[in-house]
Amino acid sequence: MQALSSIGRFAPSPTGPLHFGSLVSALASFLDARQRKGKWLVRMEDIDPPREVAGASDQILKQLDSHGLSWDGPVLYQSTRLDSYRAALETLVKSGLVYHCQCNRRRIVSLDGIYDGQCRDLKLPKDGQAARLRVDSSNIYFRDQITGDARQNLHKEVGDFVLQRRDELYSYQLAVVIDDEYQGITHIMRGSDLHDSTARQIYLQRCLGYGQPEYAHLPLALNTDGQKLSKQNLAASLVEGNEASNLWAALDWLQQSPPKELQQQSIDRILQWGIDNWSLNILAQNPKDMLAPEGY
């Protein structure tokens, strides 16, 4: 029975507090999982210390909690999972799928980000080099529950991609695939800025013999300059005390048409309304990035 085994997740990077855009992702994945009577997990993607902000993990968890977005089980911190990433990488090295690459950032930029495989057959030693996964020339197809059919040719559009950086940090692509499998995630719902990563993740799942979850990429909330709300462009943190209006605004932004009078209700009533009325189809009919509501 699919309903019992469905598992969704919210996987923030602790680079700052929650803003409207991240609330939208958290809320949508929560409602989707709860409507399916599935589990909803939180995973803290804390494997890139240079980008992290002290205290952000705790603040994000506090904000989720104060919005009534309660997760199942303990939070998984990716910083505790390095042994698993190392083991998976070793497996891929042994099967000849990984090579080490000495190309510097300037060279990669000059290639417009599409790696040309210059180091593929150089058999460079591991020390101090990035580890890249060989991609093949086939197309990867997947059906996104919101944005529809997608296709990417990794060889032409991405090139061999990095699993471990020169500074030894594991890449997002590697960690996310290993942990989605480890946590038994069946439904991935996240911002459409990550749509472009999906084919890489599916390819990696296949290399590691993992199953493939369902994907749904949400429209992005934009600021008045037309940029995605993000920690990088200083999106405002959600204000404490405004939880009910934040949830209502996020439901409204997600085109779920919450009734006006719901705004005055408790966060539990708002969330229950959201679970009962959640519709991915509505979003799928008009999956356009949209301005965040005024004040966010």
* Shortest reach from residue 195's CB to ligand GLU, in Å: 11
Nearer to ligand GLU, 45 or 181 (CB): 45
- The rounded distance, in Å, linking the Cα atoms of 42 and 233 is 24
* Shortest reach from residue 17's CB to ligand GLU, in Å: 12
190 binds ligand GLU (CB under 6 A): yes
- The rounded distance, in Å, linking the Cα atoms of 202 and 207 is 9
Q: How many residues bind ligand GLU (CB under 6 A)?
A: 7
Closest by CA position to 37, among listed 83, 2, 75, 88: 2
* Shortest reach from residue 265's CB to ligand GLU, in Å: 29
Residue 195 gets which letter from DSSP? G
Find out whether 140 and 188 touch, Cβ atoms under 8 Å.
no
Give me 22's structure tokens. 């991240």
* Shortest reach from residue 255's CB to ligand GLU, in Å: 21
Nearer to ligand GLU, 157 or 193 (CB): 193
Phi then psi for residue 62, to 5 deg, are -65, -40
Nearer to ligand GLU, 34 or 195 (CB): 195
**Residue in 33, 92, 176, 221 binding ligand GLU, rule: CB under 6 A:** 176
Nearer to ligand GLU, 213 or 258 (CB): 213
* Shortest reach from residue 9's CB to ligand GLU, in Å: 7
Nearer to ligand GLU, 99 or 170 (CB): 170
262 binds ligand GLU (CB under 6 A): no
The single-letter code of the amino acid at 172 is Y
Nearer to ligand GLU, 46 or 243 (CB): 46
Contacts of ligand GLU in 5-64 (CB under 6 A): 11-13, 45
Closest by CA position to 44, among listed 61, 29, 26, 32: 61
Find out whether 29 and 214 touch, Cβ atoms under 8 Å.
no
Contacts of ligand GLU in 62-81 (CB under 6 A): none
**Residue in 194, 222, 282, 290 binding ligand GLU, rule: CB under 6 A:** 194
* Shortest reach from residue 194's CB to ligand GLU, in Å: 5
* Shortest reach from residue 103's CB to ligand GLU, in Å: 25
249 binds ligand GLU (CB under 6 A): no
The single-letter code of the amino acid at 77 is Y
- The rounded distance, in Å, linking the Cα atoms of 167 and 74 is 29
Listing DSSP states for 126-192 in one string gives STT-EEEEPP-SSEEEEEETTTEEEEEEHHHHT-SEEEE-TTSPBPHHHHHHHHHHHTT--EEEEEG
* Shortest reach from residue 190's CB to ligand GLU, in Å: 4
Binding residues for ligand GLU (CB under 6 A): 11-13, 45, 176, 190, 194
